[in-house]
Structures are given as C-alpha cells and as structure tokens.
Amino acid sequence: MAASGQPAVPKESATVILVRSHPADAWNVFLARRHSRSSFMAEAYVFPGGQIADADRDEKLQNCISMPAGFDPRALLQDDTLSPETAQSLFVCAIRETFEETGILLARTRDGSPLNLTSEERNARFTAYRRELNAGRTTLGEMARLENLVFPLDALAPYAHWITPEFLPKRFSTRFFLAALPEDQSAATDQGELTDSLWAKPEEFLRRYRGREIVLMPPTLKTLEELARYACLNDLFAGTRGRAIYPILPEPGENMIKLPHDPEYGIERYKQPARPEEPSRILMTDGLWRTGFDHEGT
C-alpha cells in the first residue's frame, strides 16, 4: 500500500518471453536471475523487462519504428483504456529493456537486413551502446540514427497482462510479449539488475523450481506451465495469435492467490468467466507456489 493507505498506482511496464529453437530440445526460453539486492523479486528467475521510460515516448522514435500496414499496438494489446501513444511505447519499452538487460536487440537495418552482431568489432560497438543506454547517456533513437536501424514492432507478439497485487508497495502493470531470438545474436545479462541466466525448456525450469534449485514468482510459474504445452515454436506462435488478453490482478487469499477466472474471485472490475479446464489459483504449499483449481485451498 502507498503511504496514503490506498493501493499504489501500478507503473506501466513490459517484459519479453524470449525463445529460440534448439536441436535437442525443440525450443528453449530465456530466464535470468534478479540481483540479490534487488528491491523487487530479489533472486527470482524472470523474463527480461522493466517500466516505461520517458525516452520510450519520444516522438523522434517515429522515424525508426517499423510496422506493417494495419498494425495497431493498442488493438493487439486488447486494451482500449490505453492511449495509442502509450500502447506503442510499451512495444518500444520491451525492445529497449531486452537490449539493456540481455544485449538482444530486436532491430534490422533500413534496407531490411537482419542485425548481425557476430563480428567482434560490431559486437563491441553495440556493447558500448548498451552500456551508454543503461547509464542514460544515449537513447534507442540516437543509436538507430547512428547505425541506420529500425525497430520492427511486429517482432513482438502480445501474450499476457499481469498487474501486481494491490497490497504490495511496488506495483506494475506488465504487458508480456513473445519474441524469437534473432539469428546472429546471443544473450548476456547486464550483471546489474540481472545476474545469472539460462536457456532451457519450460519443463526444465519447472523441474528446477520444484527441486528448489531456482526461485520463480507466480506469473512466471503460470506462464512457464502454459508454454510447456507447445511442442515447437511454430505451434507456440500460432497459439499466441488471437489469444485473448485480459488484465490478471491476483486476489490474495490464505496461502494462495486467486486469478480472475476463479469462481470465487471477488474483484468485480477484473473478474472473468470461469474456465474449469484451466488452473485458477496459485497456492503456496511447503514453501513453493503451485497452480491449482477452485476446489483447492478452501
């Protein structure tokens, strides 16, 4: 809660579910561990992301943003409460945060060529941009101008929208995006907000969590369980197209949180129709979160 006794206003933010094909595992997802001194979700393995910055709304960015005909960020996010400017800035935020935290840049040259960061010289140059961007000494727009780049917003597929529970002092309204790792790029954490990182199958992250090897927060746990249903990346991206996105504000209960489609969910503004086939609760059992159904935990 804020000092006023009212729930803190959630800050608009974006996070990216970064995936890649893998010959042995079919496909992997990327998670990184938050720093032990982080004020939010310390030590947890998370998808890269962060909150919108003023630079993400800069009108000068329009010259280096690429969108196919008919591409509508607000419609894709399925949220009419957003202004068109804020909707677009969430996509930009996702691109910027992914680059700042992992070194992966969802961009291409103005002639349409993929961005290749395999050469030592170019990799060093973009590492320097990343360092300057993290320090607030440059912007995505300036980097795009110098390197003749555009940022294709359609490289991001909106996936979900989670809102931090009202009882927590630090709150975010976070849009989850799905994105494929570009060829000729590799991820490396910034060793600041994020430290260790790992590519693995969703099932492997879940196994490690249940074995108490890593820490996961409920949104990450639920998302990994959803991702684990897909055998290949083609199925994953096909399943994301047309996916219904609604705000997920967990409602706290005794040793559990209820999701909006739970029959007993009580926050009217966010309540959704029941989906009996889908877990609607995330329960704390023996120090670990697990998903469950409405008859559990009562």
Q: What is the DSSP string of the chain?
A: --TTSSPPPPEEEEEEEEEEEETTTEEEEEEEEEPTT-SSSTTBEE-SEEE--GGGG-GGGGGGEE--TT--HHHHHT-TTS-HHHHHHHHHHHHHHHHHHH-----EETTSPBPP--SHHHHHHHHHHHHHHHTTSS-HHHHHHHHTEEEEGGG-EEEEEEE--TTSSS-EEEEEEEEEPPTT------SSSEEEEEEE-HHHHHHHHHTTSSB--HHHHHHHHHHTT-SSHHHHHHHHTT----EE-PEEETTEEE-TTSTT---GGG-----TTS--EEEEETTEEEEE-TTS--
pTM over 0.85: yes
- Beta-bridge partner residues of 180: 19
Q: What is the mean pLDDT of residues 88-103?
A: 96
Q: Which domains does the chain have, with CATH numbers?
A: 11-240 (3.90.79.10), 250-298 (no CATH)
| pLDDT over 60 (residue 107) | yes
- Mean pLDDT of all residues belonging to the chain: 92
* pLDDT tops 80 at residue 236: yes
Q: Around Cβ 111, how many Cβ atoms within 10 Å?
A: 7
Q: Quick one: pLDDT band at residue 38, thresholds 50, 70, 90?
A: low
For 277-295, what is the mean pLDDT? 93
Mean pLDDT of all residues in 180-185: 94
For 219-233, what is the mean pLDDT?
Answer: 96
Model confidence band, residue 225 (pLDDT cutoffs 50, 70, 90): very high
Least confident of 50-64, 215-229, 256-270: 50-64
Cβ atoms of 271 and 265 within 8 Å: the answer is yes
Phi and psi at residue 284, to the nearest 5°: -95, 115
Q: Which residue has the higher pLDDT, 1 or 169?
A: 169
